Amino acid sequence: MELVLDDKTYEVIIEKKHNKNLYIRVSDDFKIKVTCPYLYTKHMITKIIYENTKSIKRMIDIKKKQNKTKLKEENKLLGKNINICYKDVKKASFDGTTLIIKDDNMLNKWYRKIALEEFLKYLDEAYYVFEEKIPYPKLKVRSMKTRWGVCNKKDNSITLNLELIKKDPKYLNYVIVHELSHFVHFDHSKEFWDTVFKYCPEYKNVRKELKE
């Protein structure tokens, strides 16, 4: 369901619960969320929404003002703190210290875009140092809960955890060297770790820190 206000279209999300009343709120990404009892029909909900367009507009205006001043500082980029400022913008912008975005969805897309760019740079640096003959891998980036990187010899690819873009570059470098070393030794044998040590001598400390 959608609602058009002042020539702008807003998505309406309806959630039915064991409530006695109907509640309308506007989320940070400007979706109109309606919580109502199970007995309410779509016609009833639509009627109530249109009867409360003035209140919804007011909620949208308040949310816009809140987002203009809402700052978060817990995010990082390659180990450095960055400020996150939420504003009603169409495109993310970053000045080196502050990232301006509309919502968390835009934040995640920005992180993924930057990760692809930065990961490729570090992959190039590590790959061309290798003396062993290995394929230049396809780079994949995704969120992973239990692994920092994955090497797939079948399609000559390595997958890096998106969260690495937030960490100090030494961790990114280690994970890339680790995965590239699997093209030399596809196991965790002594020979494999000797290869990792060859291109990342401090890997033991870095690996230990990543596990903490």
Give the whole-angstrom CA distance, residue 82 versus residue 165: 12
What is residue 88's predicted lDDT score, i.e. its pLDDT? 79
Q: Hey, what's the torsion of the CAs at 206, 109, 151, 171, to 10 degrees? A: -10
**CA distance readout (Å), 23 to 35, 49, 67:** 5, 10, 22
Does the pLDDT value for residue 71 go beyond 70? no
Does the pLDDT value for residue 74 go beyond 80? no
What is residue 207's predicted lDDT score, i.e. its pLDDT? 94
166 in Cβ contact with 77 (< 8 Å): yes
Average pLDDT over residues 138-150: 94
Helix or strand or coil: residue 177? helix
Does the pLDDT value for residue 163 go beyond 70? yes
Mean pLDDT for all residues in the chain:
91
Please state the separation of Cα 118 from the chain's center in Å.
Answer: 15
165 in Cβ contact with 78 (< 8 Å): yes
Q: Decide if domain 109-211 falls under CATH 3.30.2010.10.
A: yes
The string of pLDDT tens digits covering residues 80-113 is: 999 888 887 889 999 988 999 888 889 999 999 9
Average pLDDT over residues 33-61: 93
Residue with token string 């779509």? 42
What is residue 40's predicted lDDT score, i.e. its pLDDT? 93
Q: Is the pTM of this model over 0.85?
A: no
Does the pLDDT value for residue 67 go beyond 70? no
Does the pLDDT value for residue 164 go beyond 60? yes
What is residue 69's predicted lDDT score, i.e. its pLDDT? 54
Where does the pLDDT of residue 70 fall: very low under 50, low under 70, confident under 90, or very high at 90 and above?
low
What is residue 79's predicted lDDT score, i.e. its pLDDT? 92
What is the residue extent of each domain of the chain? 2-68, 69-102, 109-211
